A = this chain, B = another copy of it.
Amino acid sequence: MTITINHIAIVVEDIEKALAVYRDALGLPLDHITEEPAEQVRVAFLPTANSEIELIQPTTPDSGVAKFLAKRGEGIHHVCLEVDSVDVAIQAMQARGLQILGESRVNQRGDKYVFMHPKSAHGVLIELYERPG
List residues of chain A with CB under 8 Å of any chain B CB.
Answer: 1-5, 8, 10-13, 17-18, 20-22, 24-28, 48-51, 53, 55, 73-76, 79, 81, 83, 89, 92-93, 95-96, 98, 118, 120-124, 126
Contacts and interface: CB of A to CB of B under 8 A. Distances in A.
A11 B76 CA distance: 14
Nearest to A122: B74
Contact of A73 (B18, B76, B83, B123): B123
Contact of A5 (B17, B50, B76): B50
A120 to B, nearest CB: 7
Contacts of A120: 21
Contact of A24 (B4, B73, B96, B126): B96
